[in-house]
Amino acid sequence: MTTATLGSAVRTSFQRWQFWLLLLVLGLLSVLLVQAMAEEDMDRYGLENTSLDGYAALAQVLEDQGVNLHPAASAQTAEELLQEHPEAALVVLSRGDVPNEQFLAQLREVSDRPVVLLDESAQLVNALFLESEVSYAGAHAGGGPVEDATLAAGGQCSIPGAVTAQDLRAPGALFYSEDPGCFTGFEDGSGPAQALVETPAGLLFGAPEAFSNHDIAQAGNAALALSLFGEREELIWYTPMGLDAMGAEEWASPTDLLPGWVIPLAWWLLLCALVLMLVMGRRPGPVVGEPLPVRVPGAETAEGRGRMYQSANAVEASAQTLRSAHLIRLARLLRLGAAPEESSILEAAARQVHRDPAEVSALVARRPRNNAELVGYAQALASLEQETEHAVLTAHTRARAAPARPENAEATPKTQPDSQQGKNSSND
Amino acid sequence: MVLTRRFLYVTLGLSAVVVVLPEWEALLGCAVLLVVLAALDMALAGSPRSVSVERLPSTPVRLGQPTTANSALHHHGSRRLRGQVKDGWQPSAGARRPVTVVDLTPGRTRRIETALRPSRRGDLHSEHISLRSIGPLGLAGRQVVHRVPHTLRVLPPFHSRRHLPSKLQRLRELDGATAVQIRGAGHEFDSLRDYVRGDDVRSIDWRATARRQSSQGQHLVVRTWRPERDRRVILALDSSRTSAVRIEDEPRLDSGMEAALLLGALASGAGDRVDFFAFDRGLSGQARSGMRGDLLHRMADAMSAVQPQLVEADFSQLPAQVRAITAQRSLLVVLTSLDSGSLEEGLLPVLPALAQRHLVVLAAVRDPELDRRAHARETTSEVYRAAAAERALIEKEALRRQLSSLGVEVVEATPHQLPPQLADTYIRLKAAGRL
């Protein structure tokens, strides 16, 4: 087999398997796309989320400072990590979901590892502190003028990180606590409402918004973040999900409720569908192609030239062309012989339609300056020709209807094609 | 491998077993059963490879007329073969039922007829026949493609045939057999006969009348003339790029073929010798007067394979082509387009020499679309288009005048009008004795 035939054989087999190859490539592409989409973190306060409400900046800085982040999405993972790193600090970030009861119990037990609880609502507090040692006080707006939005650490504050940070600027939740806290929002009968309070389970911070990519550079937010999370080299970052709160016994598979034959039948019907594809997809022979003919539409040059005239607004040239065309046809219609003068054509035409020669000459000599005038001019020329044609025809029939002329040569020129007369028409 | 619908129904039926025995083993068992059945059926099917295909020659057919393409299947195998045969005709062949059900006994031959109604001129092909053999259970089978080509020649339709009787009649009127007399140089003397009322007095032959004097009285004798015979008519069909242009949904080439066929039939009926050739860069088809067989048939046969080529026509070889046919003065009809670009560069330089030796007629298709556009004057864009169309018409007119000044007859008409008008021009030239 020579290289040429080998090449053509390869090409033929490629053409044959083209569809399947294309399908494979498309499948791979879609899998890659799905993977890429899945890996992109779009969660609020997500550690890899680079949008405004993400924590990517914080995570990056912490890693640069030598802190190892261990994200945990479920209670089980968090448990495993806690056992793996007994010295590590723990962060529990609640976005409206709370950990399951087992984990909460473990949190309530006082341990020697630093724990930071982040929650901007009352959920985590209510779940953790049933005895209301700490309770939710209200929301801090954080917007508005700078002096209203910024919370100062306060003199009573004993948490070193907060003292260093001095002030905080972010919206979030405020809590009442028996122990003194930092960043007092307001004070009422129940005591001061603060953003950062010490609880038996660890530090509770009500404004996770402060550490987002958008707000971390404000006031003392960054300093607070580093001192809160940078304490130990290992940091377990646990974000509870809704499913964690559910006990394992609460799970019920929908398949348990179905009769036993449904799943095998579904698989069998899938097989049937496969067989259907094989049966219907088998062609009775190779696909036969049709060598397509050349297809050139007529008058396309004229069409193109017309568009060119229009786009160039060639009023003058178009009017000139129309004028020449009509004069040639009028000359032929009136049988004025070879190369007649323009004035004689117009004169003859005016005589034929019983109009003033000066008026006809003025009509033809008009120089349109814009599109509207050009349309009017073209229509006037067309109607002049039509009138002349009508007049010539009626004159001709009247002459033929006239009696008492014996058969003569008149019949002969009638059978002659028009080309004979065409030769005699004028030049433009 | 082929699976049939019956196989699908069996598969669907087995889902009842799956419902009754909802075990994975049962499911697997059913699947294995299906596979075994299909394999068995495939093994028992008659081998489609043991069949040889013979294509029976087809006769050429006019475009638009139905025909059948026949093939013979010889079964050399030992087992009976049941299944289907599909003839792989290209779509424009218009196979109405390409799939035939067959039952072949070993050692016998079966004829397959495929009804065709071609919708395209030229050589149509079927590259292969595919044979599907189904097993005795009707569940599965085997399929093989036999690559044995078949060709069907489709001739031009010759719609202008309907003009032929009236034009032949007009030719006969020119003949001396009738009383119509048109005298002219080049007419041949036919016979002398008695004068009847209505004859042209100018055709009375006084010398013959004097010789016929007898006791009965005066006998006026007239000469009769007949149109010249045995003149040469050469039809040159341009199949270059300009012939691909569609006018009124028919390529110029096809309109030219219609005109050439009508003129060829008319001229050979009038006793002239007709030669036809089609050309673009070289010769793309020809039918010579000297060859055997019916001229019209040979012309149609030569035309059937001619397709528009996207190349510029080489008119410079035209004189050589004509010289190869005859050195005699003849009527040369060039069927091309009245397109200034291609004519000015190609045809005009060789035309004076040709027009000196021969009588040249240039037949071209007129585009009625241009006339329609030239008359539409409602909107701005219509007026611009009208101006462009008028310009094209003026250019054509100038070209016509230039050709006429060289002594070339120009026939320009719409696709349907071109064949009769070209025939009229021929009759007029013949009557005038200019051939």
pLDDT at res. A421: 40
Q: How many CA atoms lie within 13 A of B431 on its CB side?
A: 16
- Does A322 touch chain B if contact means CB atoms closer than 8 Å? yes
CA angle B358, B363, B367 (to 5 degrees): 160
- Does A294 touch chain B if contact means CB atoms closer than 8 Å? yes
pLDDT at res. A401: 75
Which sign, positive or negative, has the C-alpha torsion A25, A26, A31, A33?
positive
Residues 352-381 of chain B with CB under 8 A from chain A are: 367, 369-370, 373-375, 377-381
- Does A303 touch chain B if contact means CB atoms closer than 8 Å? yes
Mean confidence (pLDDT) of chain A:
81
Would you state the structure tokens that stand for residue B100, as one six-digit string?
A: 């035939």
- Does A265 touch chain B if contact means CB atoms closer than 8 Å? yes
DSSP-assigned beta bridge partners for residue A197: A204
pLDDT at res. B186: 47
Q: Give the mean model confidence (pLDDT) for residues A87-98.
A: 84
What residues of A are in contact with residue B86 (Cβ under 8 Å)? 284-285
pLDDT at res. A416: 41
Query: How many Å from the N-terminal Cα to the C-terminal Cα in chain A?
Result: 69
Contact B8 A272 (CB under 8 A): yes
Would you state the structure tokens that stand for residue B61, as one six-digit string?
A: 């057919």
Which chain A residue lies closest to B370 (C-alpha atoms)? A299
Question: How would you write the pLDDT of chain B (435 residues) with one tens digit per residue?
Answer: 899 999 999 999 999 998 998 888 889 999 999 999 999 999 999 999 999 999 999 999 999 899 999 999 999 989 999 999 999 999 999 998 889 999 999 999 999 999 999 999 999 999 999 999 999 999 999 999 999 999 999 999 999 999 999 999 888 877 654 444 445 444 566 778 888 887 777 778 888 888 877 666 677 888 776 666 778 999 999 999 889 998 888 899 999 999 999 999 999 988 889 999 999 999 999 998 877 788 889 999 999 989 998 888 899 999 999 999 988 889 999 999 988 778 888 888 999 999 999 999 999 999 999 999 999 999 999 999 999 999 999 999 899 989 999 999 999 999 999 999 999 999 988 877 777
Contact A306 B381 (CB under 8 A): yes
What residues of A are in contact with residue B19 (Cβ under 8 Å)? 261, 265
Highest mean pLDDT among A92-101, A117-126, A212-221, B25-34: B25-34
Q: What whole-number distance in Å separates Cα of residue B315 and Cα of residue B322?
A: 11
Indicate whether A201 pLDDT > 50.
yes
Which sign, positive or negative, has the C-alpha torsion B310, B312, B313, B314?
negative
pLDDT (tens digit per residue) in A234-280: 888 888 876 655 555 555 667 677 888 888 899 999 999 999 999 99
What residues of A are in contact with residue B92 (Cβ under 8 Å)? 290
User: Could you tell me where the DSSP H helices lie in A261-340?
Assistant: 262-281, 300-311, 315-333
- Does B2 touch chain A if contact means CB atoms closer than 8 Å? yes
Q: Is the ipTM of this complex over 0.85?
A: no
How close, in Å, is residue B49 to chain A by CA atoms? 15
Q: Which of A274, A309, A379 to mutate to test the interface with B (most CBs of B within 10 A)?
A: A309
pLDDT at res. A40: 67
- A148 pLDDT tier (thresholds 50, 70, 90): low
B355 or A202, higher pLDDT: B355
Residues 404-433 of chain B with CB under 8 A from chain A are: 404, 410-412, 421, 424-425
Q: Give the mean model confidence (pLDDT) for residues A357-361.
A: 89
Indicate whether A99 pLDDT > 90.
no
- Does B387 touch chain A if contact means CB atoms closer than 8 Å? yes
Contact A375 B373 (CB under 8 A): no
Q: What whole-number distance in Å separates Cα of residue A361 and Cα of residue A346?
A: 6
pLDDT (tens digit per residue) in A294-325: 778 888 888 999 999 999 999 999 999 999 99
pLDDT at res. A216: 87
Q: For chain A, what percent of residues have pLDDT higher than 70?
A: 86
Residue A116 contacts residue A235 (beta carbons within 8 Å): no
- Does A299 touch chain B if contact means CB atoms closer than 8 Å? yes
pLDDT at res. B23: 86
* Sequence-ordered list of residues with C-beta below 8 angstroms from that of B284, at least 6 positions apart, any chain: B239, B278, B305, B306, B309
Q: What whole-number distance in Å separates Cα of residue A349 and Cα of residue A328?
A: 12
What residues of A are in contact with residue B381 (Cβ under 8 Å)? 306-307, 310
- Does B200 touch chain A if contact means CB atoms closer than 8 Å? no
Q: Say if pTM beats, i.e. exceeds, 0.95.
A: no
How close, in Å, is residue B383 to chain A by CA atoms? 6
- Does A338 touch chain B if contact means CB atoms closer than 8 Å? no
DSSP A66-93: TPEEEEESSHHHHHHHHHH-TT-EEEEE
Which chain B residue lies closest to A300 (C-alpha atoms)? B245
